[in-house]
Amino acid sequence: MKLVLIIAAFVGMVVLCVTGWNYGGAGGLIGGAMGFVLRLGGRGLDWGERLGNAYVGALMGMPVGLMIGGAFTLGVPYLLTAINNGA
């Protein structure tokens, strides 16, 4: 049951990033990939532990990347419009 929940959390985040592609989902996938790669080279006695750390890094990187991507996708055009209109 624990393995099913672990897989469901990861698949759910990937589906959320793909579904929200127009709202910063690419940032979520990029954040997940960056989290995976950065945690892969960390501390660990064997590759099983390192892959576990990398999995946690991907799960932490996806929501952060989704938020940053969403802020960039939705916030930057709004700010540029406000600046150009002199508001």
Tokens of 87: 């508001």
Asked, for residue 48, whether it belongs to a domain, the answer is yes
Q: What is the pTM of this model?
A: 0.80
Going by C-alpha positions, the residue among 61, 5, 9 that lies closest to residue 37 is 61
Question: What is the length of the chain?
Answer: 87
Total count of domains within the chain: 1
Q: Tell me the per-residue pLDDT of 10-68, one tens digit each, with 9 for 90 and over.
A: 999 999 999 999 988 999 999 999 999 999 887 777 888 888 899 999 999 999 999 99
Asked, for residue 4, whether it belongs to a domain, the answer is no
The whole domain housing 35 covers 25-76
Asked, for residue 85, whether it belongs to a domain, the answer is no
Tokens of 16: 């959320």
